[in-house]
Structure formats: structure tokens, C-alpha cells
Structure 1
Amino acid sequence: MSTDVVDLTRRLVRIPSVSGSPGESDVLELLLGTFDDRYRVRTLRGPDGGLRAVAVVPAVPTGPLMVFTGHVDVVPTGDPDAWARPPFSGDLTDGRVWGRGTTDMKGGVAAIVASLDAAPAGSAVAALFTVEEETGSRGAADAATLLDGLDTGLLVVAEPTDGRVVRGHRGVTWLRVVTDGVAAHGSAPHLGRNAISGLTRVLDRAAAEGTGWDTLNVGTIGGGTAVNVVPDLAWARVDLRTTDPLADPAAWWREQPDLAAVEPELALPAVLLDPDDPEVVRLGIEPDDRVVGYFTDAAVLTGALGCDRVVLLGPGQTDLAHRRDESVAVDALHRAVADYTDLITRWDHR
């Protein structure tokens, strides 16, 4: 029985699977029942018994595999009342499936399942489903162990790319930067040194003249103890993205004398596809000269699986990821299944 990619997307979206929640395991449990005896399913469970990863491999693995991958976690919804439709409803209206994760990336996960279902027996294709991608690809390395002993020849990441192969994605660095100060009574600020003011100056300077990154986002910020106390500590968490694999985005911050600490939280490299790779050429893959800003599990999986040939191709729209009223077009889901099925066919006959 063939997988209905739209129905599966809706079922996946109806399971709230915010990163770190039990819903991640619930989604993976649902996926366990979608594969027939052409495949073997391998699982990784955490100390609480919940699923942490699922791999689907051929019953009789042959040659290097094309491995599809997708994460099942989603970012928080914010205020659900601010959504036009309930964020975990999976509503099907206006030719679109609506809800958190439709674009990023349960639509892509459903398309992977449907394409493996449509693949002929004996196809050299596998899939790896992960958790906690949204919090820094924290589940990817452990998930990769499920493919131990197998040869990965091509990694296909079903993240949203508007249905076109893109050249790759940026690397990401997350830092926690800290300023210190001198506490004093709020009525006598001249007797202290305001750590928040100091942090503000550094952040303004970073935006105006900082180097080593393509984009900078100040994601969270905090400091101080009370409104009537000059704050002696302030901090911010910053997100830096770059396409340069040799860049060190933290270097500029380490050089700032008014920072008391620069604490690395995450560093994942850029992932770029070589369009002149002989295998890529043989497969007829022609990527857009576009590098998406988000990171993917490929930043971890390339090293863990020993495969740096990565295709980013997914049904969602890149500008809808993480936004309120997220959705994916039904046509895009069907097109993704067709594209993945075509890739599998070409891989088997390369």
C-alpha cells in the first residue's frame, strides 16, 4: 500500500514534538509502522525508553547507499492564540497543510517515507530520522551510529529549499558573551559601572564593524538584579552564520577588551555541495547557486558518516520555517516524492 504523503504529513504535525519533549519519541514511534519487510528498522532509545533515532536500511544492503535524513522536532509555537489555525491541527485548506513543522520539516519527513515506500525492492536507499536538531543538532551524532557498518555515498537532507537543490548551508556559531560592572545604588550610578550599558556598546559595535560572519542575531539577553541597583553583570547569546569554512566568528568577540567572557555554545561548519563532483554530475544534479542561512544535521552527519556529498532538497518554503502560520503546499509534497523517487532511480542505475 503506497504512502499518502499528505495524510502522513498531517498525522505527524498533529503530534506536538517541540525539541526535548516526549512528542519527539511519539513521532518516531509513528514512523516505525510505516515500513514493510523490504527494510530493516534500527532504533536508538534513551535512558527513559523513549526513541532518540530511527534508521531504515535495506533488508539486504548493497553498495554505497543514498541516505535520506530528516529531524522530527520542531521549534516552539509562541502564543497559539496568535495563529490563524491551531498550530498542531494539521488542517488541510486552500491546497496547503497548516501547522508547526509542516515546512520545517515534517513535510520532508513524510516525503522521505513515501519515496522509500515507492522504491523498488533492492534499492540502495536508507533513511535516518533524528531528534533535537533545532537545539543544535544534538541528536545527530548518536543517530549516525545506527548506520555503522554501512557505506553512505550520498546524503539527502529534506529541509525546506523551495523544492530546488541548493548549493549548501551556512555554518553556525552560538556564543554567550558577558560584561561585568560595579554594583552601586540606583540613585548614585556614578559610583558604579553599568554592565548592561557596556554590553549594549559591544553589541552596537558588533553590528556596525564586527567581522568574521555573514549574519548576526542577538537572540537572548539578560542582566542586573533589581531596578534600583547598578548591574554588575550582563550577558547576551548571539547567533553568527557564515559560508566561509575557514572563518572563526568568535575571534572578533575574543578581541573585545570590554567583554569579561566569551563562552562558545555551538560551532557547526558550513556544508557545500561541489557541483563538479563526478557523482553529482552523473546523477544530473544541478544545484542553485544559493546557500541557505539555516544549519542542518548534515553539519554533524558528514563527519559521522564519512560522506561529504550532501544534497539539500525539500518541499517547504525557506521563508516559512519557524514562522507563525507555517504551512506547506500539497503540490510541493507530491513534487518532493517524485523528485526523491527519481533520485533513487538514478542512484540505482548510476
Structure 2
Amino acid sequence: MLPLALSLGDPAGIGPELIAACWADRQVADLPPFFAVGGARLLVEAAATRGITLPVAAITDPAQAAACFGQALPVLGDLDGAYTPGQPAPPGARLALASLEQATALVTGHAAAALVTGPIAKAELAQIGFAFPGQTEFVADACGVAPQDAVMMLAGPALRTVPLTVHCALASVPALLSAELIERRCTIVARAMQRDLGIAAPRLAICGLNPHAGEDGRMGDEEIRIIAPAIAALRAAGWDVTGPQPADALFTPRARATYDVAIAMYHDQALIPLKALDFDQGVNVTLGLPVVRTSPDHGTAFGIAGRNLADPGATIAAIRMAADLSARRGSAA
């Protein structure tokens, strides 16, 4: 199998030190070969803040990564910059973007098995002209996929959940919801569950938007006007879909046993339970792409960068999931 490509993320955040920590834990965590795109010097400096002496192997081709992975962290290319933990700045944002661009090109060009993206600061990238809401939309565009067809799923040991609307104001959510959006994205999710996770008959549980799922229209009518018709259409298409369900009860242990993925109406409705249950093992995986892309489900954490406090568990989980998904796709080819 080809190695995985890891983008650095913002060098002022915890991404670089977690890449170093994952390589240091490669045997204990049983990780497949991966390489970082750029940042050889700053990765060594970031590793030192965790007490890790990081050997680095410069590579010019992803195919060289596997041979040296056991002895050193493979780093592709000459991209590099200053390591300034907790102090984001435009040069760091430019490095993060260049690493993301190169890593994405390697994966879409079939030189790497999958893409694992380090955490970026959206505000910092916006200041240097990054035109996308986030990395998901950037990777989708690079793959020629419409942004509405790239679906973010958050996955951990206890829960998988998908927010139908993502980075927007809460006040904007009701106007963004439509039966067509729900049908389209749930179909993408269900097909990805079959192809990438090997779940032949995926069970989707769809949240309501309002408290108590609207309580028959007493607390809002989006469930009646939008969500219920979408569920009916999905069922008519042969998918196992339930709802609209009250979100305050959908994430209990008993309820989670009844579905494979929960479909939420907005960002926090999906991410709060995922982070409460699986913060140190949560993975952001993009569904609907021709390539595999995952990311740890946490941000740059500038406040703890360089202090040996960040847990590598989510990055380890993202690497494992990327390898598992790409292997499953390869076996199904």
C-alpha cells in the first residue's frame, strides 16, 4: 500500500508536535507508513518540546517513505518555516497552505494512499487570501467535487455523526435546510458507509432541528415541512432511516445502539456529543470524495502548543482510519 500524506497544519499550533508524537509511537500504535509534507526543521523543534529526539529522512518521492519509516520520519520537499508555538502569523499560515496544497496534489495524483490534514486556523488562512470555509471545501474543490457533495462525518469509538450545515451562524440554519439537502447528503453518507465502512445496510438516525423535534409543530415546524418529507423520500429509496428524533435523547447509550450514524441539523448538534464522548479519539472524515481524507477532530489549540500537553490520540485515530478506508477501497477495486 502507498504511504499516507500528512499536511502540517498551522505550525504555531499542535499539529507538528502531534505528527512527531505519532511517529515516535508508530510501533506501539501499529501505524502504517506516512510522511509529512514539508517542515523538516520545525518538526524537529516541535518534537523537542515533547522530549522527542526526532530523526528526519528527506525524501523526494512518496514511494521512498516506507523504506525509511522505521528509522526516521520521512519528510517530502523543502517547505519549512519558523517554529513559533502559540504565536500564529501570516508566514505560518502560508506554510500550512502550501503543505496542504502539495499533500492534496499527491493524493489526487495517486502518489499517496490518503490525506491526513493537520489542524489549521481559518482566520489566519483567510488573512492570506484562502477562499474556502475550511480544508474540507478545499480538498473537495481539488477533487472536482461540489462543496455540497463533500460531507463531514465525525467518527469515534462511541459515535458517528454528520452535521448537515457546518460553518455558519446558528440563525442561518433554518433557511439553509431543505428536503433536497437532507436527501442528497444522507444518500452520500449511506453510500459511503457501504463503500468505505463495509456496512451493507447502514442505519441513519436523523435529528430534529427544534427542541423535542418540534413537538408536533409547537416549537417550530421545520420537522413537519422539511425533515419528515426528506425521511419519507429516503425510505422510499430503500434506506433505513429514522426520525426526526429529539436530539437531547439521541446520543444516550441505549439510543446509540439503534443506529450507525446520526445526522444532525447543525454543527454543534453533531460535535458536542462527539467531543463529549470521543474527544481524544475523534476523527473528521470527508465522505463523497474520490480520495480518502481524514483529520483529527480538534483545532490548533494555540494555547497549549509547545507545552507537551496535547494528546496525540485523535491524530493516531485519523491515521488509522485513513489507512483502513484506503485499504478497503483498494480491496473493493
**Greater helix proportion:** 2
State the TM-score, normalizing by the size of structure 2: 0.34
Q: Which has the larger radius of gyration?
A: 1
State the TM-score, normalizing by the size of structure 1: 0.33
